[in-house]
Chain A
C-alpha cells in the first residue's frame, strides 16, 4: 500500500521533468499570435538526407552529409517576450548546454550553446536578443564535433 502511494507521488513529480526542453518551449509559444515557429522533425531530416538533388542556389551549402543524424529543429521568432526569454534562460540554466560563444554588438546579444556527450554534439542552441525581437533556435541530434565544424565552415564559406 505504501509502495502504491510512493509510485503515485513519483508519477506526479515526474511531471516536472516536462518543464524545460526545446520541444516544450516550442509547444508553448509556436501557436501564439505574432510568433513565427518552424519545426523540422527527425523524419524530415532523413528525407532531406535522401534527396537526390538539393537545390543549392548560387551560394548554396551542401548540408546533406551532416543532417541525417539530426532529430529535431525548433525555431521561434517573436517580438520581445519576457516569458519566452525566461523559459529559454531556464533551459540554459538546466545545465544541459555550455556556452560556445557570446557576441554583443550594435544592440544585438547573440549566444551560442552546445551540449555534448563525449565527442558528439547532441544539441545546439542559439539565442538572439535585440531590443525588439527574440530568436530561439535549437537543434537536437548526434553529430561529431568534427562534422559540426565542417558544417559551420561550409556555411561560412558561402556566407
Chain B
C-alpha cells in the first residue's frame, strides 16, 4: 500500500468512526462501586465520577443510582458485570466493586432466628462489623465436600439443626476424669457428655490434682455452639443459619471437665488433618480447615510449632481464637502459621475482653452486650445451638437472644466458615491462599474518636483496632468469597507484535492465557475497547487473530477467555500503531516474525490481565 491511500483511509476512518469504539456483543454490565474515603473523584458530581471511572476502564459508563454517599450503581455495555467489577477493583480510587445482581426473596435464609444473627448479615451504619455472609451465599451455598474440624468439647449429635452437617469424629481425651464420658481413654465417640463441675468434683482429690482448684459450674455445650455457628443447617425453617452452608463438621473432642491438655489437642488437630496418630484409626474425612475456639496463656511451644508445620504441609488451614484475656494473644493462636482471630464489637472496635497483638490475622464479631445493666438483655450476642442440660444432656435448644453469649470462641468459626465457603467456591485454593485472601479482602477498621488506639485500651478493654493489633481488618465474608471465585477464573495474557503499521495486519496473541484447576479454555472473545479508528480482527473468536488499524494512534483491545466450566477471565492491551513502518522493522508487514519474538514476549508481559467470575 502506498502512503497516499493509507492517509486517505486514515482520514476516512477519522471521519467515519467515533473516537470511542466497542464491539457490539450484547453484554451489559451493572456494577456497584464504592469510592475510597481518600478518592479525589469525590470532588466531582456523582455522574461525573462514574463517567470518569468508565473512561479509565475503557468503556462508556453511566450512573444508574447512588444508594450511598460514595456508593454508585453504574452500567456499561460490551462486557459482563464480573469483568467490569474486576477492572474497577484495581482502580486506585475504588474501595470495592461488585456485580449488581438480581436477588430473589428466597436468597435470605428462612431460619426463624436468622434475624437475630446480625453478624451474618450485610453491614450497615449501626453494625459495621457484620460479615455480609448473605452476599457470599449468593455465590456459593457451601459444599459437603469441604470438612471443617471443630476441635472442642464434642458435639450433641442429636441437635436437629446440626445433625445433618456432622460426620463421625473422635474423642481424644486421654484422662477418664477429664473426659467424663464413662469410657476408658480415647474412643470413637465425639459426643459431648457435659463438662460441668459439680460439688463432688470439687472435692475429688484426683480431679483437683489434675485441674487445680475447681469452681462448680454447669455444662457449656461449647463444641455444639461453635459447630452451630460454623455449619448449622441453613434454610431448614428451624433455628439459625450456619456460616458455612453445606459445609460438614468433623467433631474432635479434646475439652472436658476443666479444659484440655495440649497433648490431646495436638493429637486431635493432627488426626483432623488426616495425619496418623498411634492407636487411633485413620480419619476417613480429613478436614481442610481446623477451628480452635480454645486457648491458654503462654508462648507457642515447640510441640505446637511442630504439629502446625505438619498440618499446614498437609494442606489444612488452622483458625484459632485469640483469647479472652484482653492482653497478649494466647496459645495456640500465637503460633506461626495459625490464622488468629480477635474479637470486635458490632461497631468494629476491639471488644474489651478480646486478646490482641501482632499475631492476629483478622478480626470478626465476637458478641458484645453494650451497656448492660443488671437485668437488661445483652444487645449483640451470638445465637447458638446448645443443650438445656445443666450437667448431663437433656433437650436441645438455642442460646437466648438476650443472653451473654460472647467470646472470641465465636469469632473463630465465622472465619473458619468463611474459609469453607471459599474452598467450596474454589477447591483449588491452598491453605495459604485462603488465609491470604481472607486478610486481603477484610474491611478496614473504623475509627471511634472516643477510644484509644490499640494496644492502649479503655477501662473496659476497648480500643480502635490497627493492623498490628487486630489483624488485616474486619472479616468480610462476601468479599472473601468474591476473591476466591475470582482466583478460580482464567488468567489472560495478550501478546502484541512489535511492528504495527496502519493498514497492515499484525498479530495479537492470547495463547498465553490459562485456565486454573485443571480446566481448559474453550472460547476467546476479542473486542476493541478504544482507539482513534475502528480496527478489524481477522477473527474475534480465536486465540491469536491479526488486527488491522485504519488510523495511527493508541489502541486498546480486550480479550475475554472462557473455560470449560464457564468461568471467564478478561484482560486488555494498549499499543501504538504507526503511520509508517519504523526502519528497524525492515519496512515489512506487521505479522509476527521470528526476529521479533523476544520483543513480542516482552510486550506480552506488559499486557494487563485479570481474572473474573464467569
Is B a genuine binding partner of A? no
Write the residues of chain B forming the contact surface with A, with a CB cutoff of 8 angstroms.
none
Write the residues of chain A forming the contact surface with B, with a CB cutoff of 8 angstroms.
none
